Amino acid sequence: VSSCRGQKLAGGLRVAARCPPRRGAKMRSSCVLLAALVALAAYYIYIPLPSSVSDPWKLMLLDATFRGAQQVSNLIHYLGLSHHLLALNFIIVSFGKKSAWSSAQVKVTDTDFDGVEVRVFEGPPKPEEPLKRSVVYVHGGGWALASASTSWSPSDEIRYYDELCTAMAEELNAVIVSIEYRLVPKVYFPEQINDVVRATKYFLEPKVLEKYMVDPGRICISGDSAGGNLAAAVGQQFTQDASLKNKLKLQALIYPVLQALDFNTPSYQQNMNTPILPRYVMVKYWVDYFKGNYDFVEAMIVNNHTSLDVEEAAALRARLNWTSLLPASIVKNYKPVVQTTGNARIVRELPQLLDARSAPLIADQVVLQDLPKTYILTCEHDVLRDDGIMYAKRLESAGVEVTLDYFEDGFHGCMIFTSWPTNFSVGIRTRNSYINWLDQNL
């Protein structure tokens, strides 16, 4: 049996021995450390969420993952290794990239339309329909994320959008064109719009439609989030373009971002800290899109950029009067935030804020009245909810037929989260509802 009594020397002196720590002490230390790590992880992951949101704990985990990726990318930016948006996009794409891969039902090819990278998904042919319908799809991601075309591997696409476009092609027996427009910080507004315009115009050429066997009278433009913004802007532009022989039959906008004049609509106030798009993050995306100064962010959050003394915004404010555009059930007890004096420098340096190409919600009524039948999907737990509702109201007032599809348990981005481990029940329901509307109307 080992002993830790030490050694006895001449004269009766004893030298103390260094005994190894007992196994029980080691175990206790490990348990304390583990408990501390678990507590820290729980503190980082947990955020208070409304009880009505879909799969709250799964959403917390998703949000914590995204926040972690943002913090890593910010550190990379701080160290001068890369722009934070390039780093964040690389992280996101690395977790879910997918090369072009055809299945028995859907043929997938990567190509370019007038110099713009696209991925084309061709659904199974129907003998009774020699010509297919088609959707031009514009992905979201704050004009800066969710595409590998500006990353290390130009042939890869984030799998969430790949899965969505594959499902659309198969279920609709359609040709889906996913546009890989260039991203911030490689290019800034309005280059993203220009890419979508060029690619869509090329696709609408008779010889290209004939190649893909697409019916020129059954084409829709669609997109989610920032992609919904680009789709709406292109839709407005095409209505004014007399040179286009083939017109769009439909537009379908999924929780679109449509204005940057008021960051205190009821949904912005209600969901200012709601994942996965808090208000602060959305305002930063706008500033990045315009290559603006981050010092403007805090002022824009409180609407200092559109205060009463900013004359350039005065004429547009009525088009965003949410007290009249939104129903009472949405307005509730929220009050408009209108500053008497603000920071006129913001609009002077970023006049793009007042450009209808960046903010389709503020377009003239004469532009809106020529738009095609429209589908708008909105979610309760989303800062952009009211952008979509107000746009639907303005379109209806202009005589456009609109379907407003509202999901009480939805959150921003939910429609692309339909497969394990990020499969949300509301993601599956929103995707099914969206595809069903396309099936019935396209």
Give residue-wise pLDDT tens across range 398-424.
999 999 999 999 999 999 999 888 899
Q: What is the model's pLDDT at position 108?
A: 94
Query: How confident is the model over 10-25, as a mean pLDDT?
Result: 57
Q: What is the model's pLDDT at position 152?
A: 34
> Total structural domains in the chain?
1
Percent of the chain with pLDDT over 70: 90
pLDDT band at 10 (very low <50, low <70, confident <90, very high): low
Average pLDDT, the chain: 90
pLDDT band at 147 (very low <50, low <70, confident <90, very high): confident
Classify residue 27: in a domain, yes or no: no
pLDDT band at 146 (very low <50, low <70, confident <90, very high): confident
**Which range, of 210-214, 328-332, 340-344, 434-438, averages the lowest pLDDT?**
340-344
**Model's pTM, two decimal places?**
0.90
pLDDT in tens, 152-201: 344 455 788 999 999 999 999 999 999 999 999 999 999 999 999 999 99
Which of 262, 382, 405, 409 is the catalytic position? 382
**Identity of the residue numbered 235:** G
pLDDT band at 150 (very low <50, low <70, confident <90, very high): very low
pLDDT in tens, 221-261: 999 999 999 999 999 999 999 888 889 999 999 999 999 99
Classify residue 234: in a domain, yes or no: yes
Which of 178, 225, 267, 307 is the catalytic position? 225
Classify residue 46: in a domain, yes or no: no
Classify residue 398: in a domain, yes or no: yes
pLDDT in tens, 70-80: 999 999 999 99
Classify residue 324: in a domain, yes or no: no
**Which range, of 27-36, 84-93, 226-235, averages the lowest pLDDT?**
27-36
CATH number at residue 383: 3.40.50.1820
- 382 catalytic, yes or no? yes
Q: What is the model's pLDDT at position 129?
A: 82
- 225 catalytic, yes or no? yes
Tell me which residue range forms the domain holding 404. Answer: 105-260+350-441
Classify residue 417: in a domain, yes or no: yes
Query: How confident is the model over 106-117, as a mean pLDDT?
Result: 96
pLDDT band at 19 (very low <50, low <70, confident <90, very high): low
Classify residue 28: in a domain, yes or no: no
Classify residue 67: in a domain, yes or no: no
Which of 84, 139, 305, 412 is the catalytic position? 412
pLDDT band at 295 (very low <50, low <70, confident <90, very high): very high
- 151 catalytic, yes or no? no
